[in-house]
Amino acid sequence: MTMNYQVIENWLPKRLPVLSFYGVALICVALSFYGCTGRSITKPRSEIIEEARDNGVHLPGVEEEKRRFYAEQSRAHKRLSNLVAQRSAYGSTDPNYRLGAGDTLEISVYDVEELNQVVQVRQSGYITLPLIGKMKALGYTEPELESRISHKLQQFVRSPEVNIAISNYESKKVSVLGAVNQPGAYPLKKGQNSIVELISMAGGLSERAGSYMNFIPAEYARQGQGKMMGQYSSRRLHSSPTGGSDSRAIELPLTDVLAMNGDIPLSIPVRAGDMIIIPDAGQVMVEGEVEKRGAYDIATRTTLLGALAAAGGITYSAKVDEVEVIRNKGQGRTRLVVNLEEILSGIESDVPLRNGDIIRVPSHSGRRLRQDTFDSITRIINFGVGGSVNMAQ
């Protein structure tokens, strides 16, 4: 409804005879009744904090709550930076990696092209090569196997120079679980070891995918891995609305990992034993000064503005500079107070949402009083004339 509070002044004089039998007293009582029994008032966070302090209760300020809200994200960035630094020197493979059954090897002998081979380590742990025949490969590192092959070739080739490259790590895989189309364990391949490519191998994100992923490095995944695989083996995986994600996981926004905003994809060296977990998007709750309060399903890229739009938009009474996003973290909650006008103008970024978030749109006291008064008079007049009156006339 487009509100015009001047219409009351224009409308009442023309219809006072119709309303005269009610009297001023009835109007006043009805105004009081309707104004108090309408939609409940949602107090702004600043008012709640001020009232608590007046009662001797300390609540963190808006800026302190903002720091707490983003604290986990800062810790995740720090952990990720340390991990990338540790792994970048060796690429995506462990320098001490030992060959396993199913691994595919590219073996080349310098200046002896006929000895170049692509072989797979059999379940027995052996490979077969020209001149040498069958030899064990299981359990050796690349340098160790190169040395063994060179030694055996010396009776056929003068000073052989052997090089081995692993093109497919069939024995060492990365688990991609949760909201993907084909969850499972996927082998690392030469030149195809990024998170983006592994998610692609798993059939891409499903329609249930949330806005972030949990990346559990092999160094952490080995700790209680059997329990974790049982926990995440289900095809359907919900993100916890209580913030109870595994402490070993590094939480990453999918918009950064998959470059959904047109940026360069986040580059993370992946190793065998890593786990990539995509939680379901879930729902958020929208409360306060919106047209349609309630729970709403969210998708991968749902943000604060998108959720408010799904709730029918904000009301005239909304206090737009103190909209809250409340997020459950472990045993407590964190809050972020934002100004919608600054988000709309590009001064601040929109807020990506996740399962269990609560959006709270507070009431502007002055606007709320005018709206309640207007709505109350409208109901009284409609009741008095025995029908519905178009106030815009």
pLDDT at 82: 86
Q: What is the DSSP letter of 144?
A: H
Judged against a pLDDT cut of 60, whether residue 98 lies above it is answered with yes
280 SS3 class: strand
List, in order, residues 6 or more apart from 330 with CB less than 8 Å away.
Answer: 242, 243, 244
| For range 324-337, the mean pLDDT | 88
Lowest mean pLDDT among 210-214, 276-280, 323-327, 367-371: 367-371
What region, left, alpha or beta, does residue 172 occupy, with left being phi > 0 and alpha being psi -120 to 50 degrees?
Answer: beta
Judge whether residue 390 has pLDDT over 90: no
Residue 34 pLDDT exceeds 70: no
Distances (CA, A) of 129 to 118, 119, 122, 126, 304: 9, 8, 13, 10, 61
State the average pLDDT over residues 116-122. 93
Answer for the pair 120, 105: CB distance below 8 angstroms, yes or no: yes
Q: What is the pLDDT of residue 337?
A: 96
pLDDT confidence band for 369 (50 / 70 / 90): low
Predicted pLDDT at 19: 45
What is the model's pLDDT at position 135?
A: 94
pLDDT of 389 strictly over 70: no
- 383 vs 372: CA distance, rounded Å: 16
Position 124 confidence tier, pLDDT thresholds 50, 70, 90? very high
Mean pLDDT of 40-61: 90
Confidence at 5, pLDDT banded by 50, 70, 90: very low
Alpha carbons 194 and 188: distance in angstroms, whole number: 9
Least confident of 226-235, 242-251, 368-377: 226-235
Residue pair 213/352 in contact by the 8 Å Cβ criterion: no
Please give the share of the chain, as a percent, with pLDDT higher than 70.
72
The structure tokens listed for 334 are 């964190």
What is the share, in percent, of the chain residues with pLDDT greater than 90?
44
Q: What is the mean pLDDT of residues 358-366?
A: 89
- Top mean pLDDT of 77-86, 172-181, 242-251 is at 172-181
pLDDT at 113: 87
Indicate whether this model's pTM tops 0.85: no
Q: What is the mean pLDDT of residues 364-377?
A: 64
* pLDDT in the model for residue 233: 45
Using DSSP, how many helices (H) and how many strands (E) does the chain show? 12, 14
pLDDT reading at 38 higher than 70? no
The phi and psi torsions of 198 (rounded to 5 degrees) equal -70, -40
284 — pLDDT class (breaks 50, 70, 90): very high
Give the pLDDT of residue 257: 84
Residue 241 is predicted with a pLDDT of 44
Give me the domains of the chain, ranges plus CATH numbers: 7-40+368-384 (no CATH), 45-69+282-362 (3.10.560.10), 70-92+173-278 (3.10.560.10), 104-169 (3.30.1950.10)
Report the pLDDT value the prediction gives residue 313, as an integer from 0 to 100.
94
| pLDDT (0 to 100) of residue 44 | 92
Report the residue count for the chain.
393
Give the three-class secondary structure for 258. Answer: coil
What lies within 8 Å, CB to CB, of 204 at 6+ separation is: 180, 181
Instruction: Report the Cα–Cα distance between both ends of the chain, in Å, rounded.
Output: 14
316 φ/ψ angles, rounded to the nearest 5 degrees: -60, -30
pLDDT at position 91, please? 55
List the single range of 155-164, 165-174, 215-224, 265-274 with lowest mean pLDDT. Answer: 215-224
| Amino acid (1-letter code) at residue 94 | D
Q: How far is CA 161 from CA 148, 263, 344, in A?
A: 11, 43, 64
Each residue of 161-208: pLDDT tens digit?
999 988 888 878 899 999 999 999 998 876 657 888 899 999 999 988
Query: What value does the mean pLDDT of the chain take?
Result: 80
Of 385, 391, 388, which is closest to residue 17 (Cα–Cα)?
385
pLDDT of residue 8: 47
